[in-house]
């Protein structure tokens, strides 16, 4: 079976690490995976890649095109040959919408959601990351398959070693904001306001931004609390990664976070009220030890190998239906 992954990327870094990890885990299942990277930015960048992909598909034979993100799915739909089967993995904002600083969905965000919903009618199958995303679609061709996790990369490490590795002061308690604070949907203002309620001078806040994928594990393990205050998510990989590292977590009730955390001690769901966020941070700091989050990830079957098997079963289903 030969599959082409279509996704955005950069000239320097190539395909997104999460998508690459999924591809590599499928290779371990015996699938031939190749990548087509949409390198140009913005909607115009996606449009400029339609002809490039069309030419690539004329020269190469694939059983399935697996597009990651709605606009990648649009490019693949226009460019694909009749013989190609199309699967689209929606990632989050493509179905939930881009939001402004105050949490309302932007005009562009609503347009993207509309495009994504139309794409579903023309895809052979669709993958979403959570039930909330599935609820946005009216189709029987939808499977909920969250991204899997490489437990060889993300695991618990001695905290003192991790602190030394990332260069954080051991005299402070460390909170890791698990996103880029400049992204509106990550709702950094809620975190900032909540920390003002803490009035704790012994806390340092750090951002999970511009950190190498292979180094992130040390930042999770050095943290006393991992914090997510997003307006919305699909199935946030940062939550799963932090859980695999057995880190205490505070998160708004977005995407499938409540399901992911379950009853894991040391992990807390918060409302969007800053006082509540501050209270949950206090509880997580008071917990003051490793969680058993990794056991929860294993229990849910979210290791990369297990998820790869689910996707492979879906590939076989699509090919069997249409062959």
| Domain locations in the chain as residue ranges | 2-148+303-322, 159-299
Q: How many CB atoms lie within 10 A of CB 280?
A: 23
Alpha helices in the chain (DSSP H): 17-27, 42-59, 70-79, 93-96, 107-120, 131-134, 159-166, 188-198, 216-222, 237-244, 257-261, 274-287, 293-299, 304-322
Distance separating alpha carbons of residues 27 and 16, to the nearest angstrom: 16
CB 237, CB 214: distance < 8 Å? no
Query: Which strands, in side-by-side order, build the sheet including 203-207?
Result: 203-207, 173-177, 225-228, 249-252, 267-270
- The structure tokens listed for 312 are 């492979």
Are 100 and 289 in contact by the 8 Å Cβ rule? The answer is: no
For residues 110 and 94, is the Cβ–Cβ distance under 8 A?
no
Model confidence, pTM: 0.87
How far apart are alpha carbons 312 and 257 in whole angstroms? 25
How much is the pLDDT for 238? Answer: 95
Distance CA 82, CA 99 (A): 36
In sequence order, the β-bridge partners of residue 287 are none
CATH hierarchy code of domain 159-299: 3.40.50.2000
Q: Do domains 2-148+303-322 and 159-299 have the same CATH topology?
A: yes
Q: How far apart are CA 57 and CA 120, in angstroms?
A: 21
CATH superfamily membership of 2-148+303-322: Glycogen Phosphorylase B; (3.40.50.2000)
How far is C-alpha 62 from the chain's CA centre? Answer: 26
Among candidate residues 146, 150, 149, the one with its CA nearest the CA of residue 234: 146
- N- to C-terminal Cα separation, the chain: 13
CA 255, CA 252: separation in Å to the nearest integer? 9
Question: Strand, helix or coil at 309?
Answer: helix
> What does the block give as tokens for 132?
């909330």
Successive 10-residue mean pLDDT values, the chain, 323 residues:
88 75 93 91 84 95 94 92 92 73 71 80 91 83 92 96 96 95 93 90 90 93 97 91 98 94 97 97 96 96 94 94 49
CB under 8 Å to 120, separation ≥6 — which residues? 88, 126, 137, 139, 141, 142
For residue 22, what is the DSSP state? H
């Amino acid at each position: 079976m030969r599959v082409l992954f279509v996704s955005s990327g950069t000239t320097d870094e190539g395909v997104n690490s999460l998508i690459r990890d999924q591809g590599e885990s499928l290779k371990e299942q015996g699938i031939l995976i190749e990548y087509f990277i949409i390198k140009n930015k913005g909607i115009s960048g996606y449009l400029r890649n339609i002809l490039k992909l069309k030419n690539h598909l004329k020269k190469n034979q694939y059983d399935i095109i697996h597009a990651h993100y709605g606009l990648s799915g649009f490019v693949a739909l226009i460019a694909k040959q009749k013989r190609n089967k199309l699967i689209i993995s929606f990632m989050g904002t493509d179905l939930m919408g881009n939001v402004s600083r105050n949490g309302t969905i932007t005009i562009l965000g609503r347009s993207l959601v509309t495009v994504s919903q139309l794409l579903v009618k023309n895809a052979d199958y669709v993958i979403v990351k959570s039930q909330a995303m599935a609820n946005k679609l009216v189709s029987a061709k939808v499977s909920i398959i969250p991204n899997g996790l490489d437990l060889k990369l993300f695991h618990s490490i001695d905290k003192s070693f991790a602190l030394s590795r990332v260069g954080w002061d051991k005299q402070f308690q460390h909170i890791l904001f698990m996103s880029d604070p400049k992204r509106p949907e990550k709702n950094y203002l809620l975190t900032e306001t909540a920390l003002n309620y803490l009035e704790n001078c012994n806390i340092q806040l750090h951002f999970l931004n511009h950190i190498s994928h292979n180094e992130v594990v040390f930042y999770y393990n050095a943290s006393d609390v991992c914090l997510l205050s997003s307006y919305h998510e699909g199935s946030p990989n940062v939550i799963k990664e932090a859980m695999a590292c057995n880190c205490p977590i505070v998160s708004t009730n977005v995407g499938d976070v409540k399901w992911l955390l379950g009853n894991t001690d040391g992990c807390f769901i918060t409302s969007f009220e800053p006082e509540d966020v501050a209270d949950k941070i206090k509880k997580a700091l008071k917990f003051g030890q490793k969680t058993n989050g990794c056991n929860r990830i294993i229990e849910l079957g979210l290791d990369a190998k297990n998820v790869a098997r689910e996707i492979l079963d879906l590939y076989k289903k699509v090919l069997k239906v249409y062959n």
